Structure 1
């Protein structure tokens, strides 16, 4: 999405608008049926079903039918079962990218659950912002997130300074990994990412405190870093961050050509407690996305349990 097809020396390259230049030969057309050379085809994987270990893509329904979309009234048990199967397959045969909002850091159990998912090898890259890393490290450093105890959710005295104290201490050491090493941090999401050498991209925003060292302040640099991982992704799971989810959805292709030459879909999940966020992703053009409307702390707990990582 948000790219154009550029022809160079008889080959076609897909490029972002910011990377095209005067004189490029760009395929253009206003119709989608192929009569002008542009064909939009979104049903290539609709009837997928084989012995590859990848769950089939649901498809085929009446033009008019009730409950076609996903909402808070939908039972997602089947979606969870398919997701467990997909994660087990892609841990060995693909690349799994997780896109996370800071809501995970507000609860000690969800931090622990995702850390176990990282330790078990189900995470190949993480996209987030300054807040996810800041409040996760605050949870490890002060046992609070935005000043609230991560287990009891009780406000701690002067707790509203904790995230700033954490940022300043990380900046003192110069990097997140050095902070973890020097301050004896031994739990949480960032600790698990560093311990397992899992790459992460922290894309900053104009309202960030600090930010932490390693956060991209340049949006284009952050986008390039994210695309480096998305090019290899076979499953993308976005949770509780509408901004990062839509950004990732816009740069995620609908399929991946695997090293053995086979073509498979890229599975894209959007998990949010707000139907608006789930539906807006589809409205923005990410046609292959799947939505799960639920609290993300509960979602990650279910995933960790479904994968046999927690009781």
Structure 2
């Protein structure tokens, strides 16, 4: 007799395409399904409900059914059986039990001793640990290298519920204007205004804004405007690499970014050495904060971060020159520092950096507002492909976006023409140094 399990889908499952994806997944994996109940929400503010029995097909086994259930679970189809999650002690440090539950980035609950518990610090590709103490029971995510021997790790999908956030059917909500996905053919001015409104709303509500930035932002001439946003309190944290901070400080010391004069766009004699001279001077001072305090660094984004107590994480790369003393060169340590920022963020602006955008995106829950801006649509597409489905993308020159955003937020006055007049200067958005 073929094993059968019942799953249910709830919410705007028709508009979001969840129901069609569920049917397609079952058929693609060789299974079968029967819809037992289907209630359609007939108004925009009404949700739908579908309950269906899923089997692995006559020629399949329980392992095949488990694979189907796993894939359905990832898109928000939950087992209807009210059973407790199965927890198994970790056999050793950094070792999880076979069949451990690997998280999505969606809000998640686990059932333990008859009670549903919210999973804390949700992010994708982690294990769920259940812990009992004097204050009760809690469930939270752990990356694999943080697992301790004896941790009670959730295995299988039974007793786990996932609730993917849904975008509105119409253009309402903070990111309703981006419902069409990634495109370079929408009016830049109106989109930037919408992002500015979301940024202002986040701050009004007491939320925190994280900026993930690449060095192309400096090359494209947007450094002063990001510095303005930091100074005026619209940026709470920055995540970047060694190259971003180096080129920002280089501009203040020499007027160049990666050797190019930011005023004339020419390459002065020995300009190509300015970035390494910059690193040397900051090392001599003892770090970025020390360089600011002694007056070596007197302007720029890193200067404003120090002066306004805005924390920053500079994650190292194998390509780094120097690096700056503030750069975290241990990959796991850098990942943990990025993770702390991501868990605190309520809105994230990802500006012209592929590698750091994907790294931060992997640590974010799907409920966090994310806007990714790059001249190359492949950057946004790859972020979405990696699982950051909540990210919305804007394909435009970062040298146009940041100044216009700053004007919109700080003065309410923006003027920008569509297109990408500075696209040549922003080629580094995707192709340049991403440190």
TM-score, with length taken from structure 2: 0.61
CA distance in 2, matches of 1:21, 1:49: 46
Match of 2:155 among 21, 28, 52: 28
Q: Any conservation in 2 of the 1:99–1:245 contact (CA below 8 Å)?
A: yes
Equivalent of 1:37 in 137, 147, 159: 159
Q: Secondary structure at the match of 1:307?
A: helix
What's the secondary structure of 2:348's corresponding residue? strand
Residue 99 of structure 1 aligns to a residue in which SS? strand
SS in 2 for 1:39: strand
- The one of 125, 129, 142 aligned to 1:6: 129
- Do the aligned residues in 2 keep the contact of 1:272 with 1:295 (CA within 8 Å)? yes
Q: CA deviation at 1:21?
A: 3.2
* Residue of structure 2 in register with 1:274 after alignment: 376
The answer to whether the aligner puts 1:210 opposite 2:322 as a matched pair is yes
Say which SS state the counterpart of residue 210 (structure 2) adopts.
strand
- Larger mean Cα displacement after TM superposition, 39-48 or 125-134: 39-48
The DSSP-based 3-state class of the residue aligned with 2:191 is: helix
Greater Rg by CA = 2
User: Which structure exhibits the higher relative contact order, with contacts defined as CA atoms closer than 8 Å and separated by 6 or more residues?
Assistant: 1
For 1:167 and 1:79, locate their aligned partners in 2 and report how far apart those are by CA, in whole Å: 37
C-alpha distance in structure 2 between counterparts of 1:155 and 1:182, whole Å: 29
Point out the more displaced range, 223-232 or 135-144.
223-232
Per the TM alignment, residue 129 of structure 1 is displaced from its structure 2 partner at its CA by 0.3
Instruction: State the alpha-carbon separation in 2 of the partners of residues 70 and 300 from structure 1.
Output: 18
**1:137–1:166 Cα contact (<8 Å) kept:** yes
Q: Which runs of 5+ in 2 are unaligned?
A: 1-123, 415-435
Q: Which TM-score applies when normalising by structure 1? A: 0.85
**What residue is the counterpart of 1:96 in the other structure?**
209
Q: Secondary structure at the match of 1:105?
A: helix
1:178 match: 290
Residue 244 (structure 1) aligns with = 356
5+ residue gaps, structure 1, are 31-35, 62-67, 256-265
Equivalent residues of 2:184, 2:396 under 8 A apart: yes
1:168 matched to 2:168? The reply is no
Provide the aligned C-alpha RMSD in A.
2.3
Equivalent residues in 2 for 1:126-275, closer than 5 Å: 126-255=238-367, 266-275=368-377
Question: Structure 1 pair 216/96, CA: closer, same or farther in 2 (3 Å)?
Answer: same
Output the CA distance in 2 between the equivalents of 1:296 and 1:270: 10
CA separation in 2, counterparts of 1:49 and 1:25? 43
Contact residue 48 and residue 56 of structure 1 kept, 8 A:
no
Matches of 2:231 and 2:183 in 1, distance apart?
32
Residues 129 and 202, structure 1, Cα contact 8 Å, conserved in 2: yes
> Number of matched residues?
285
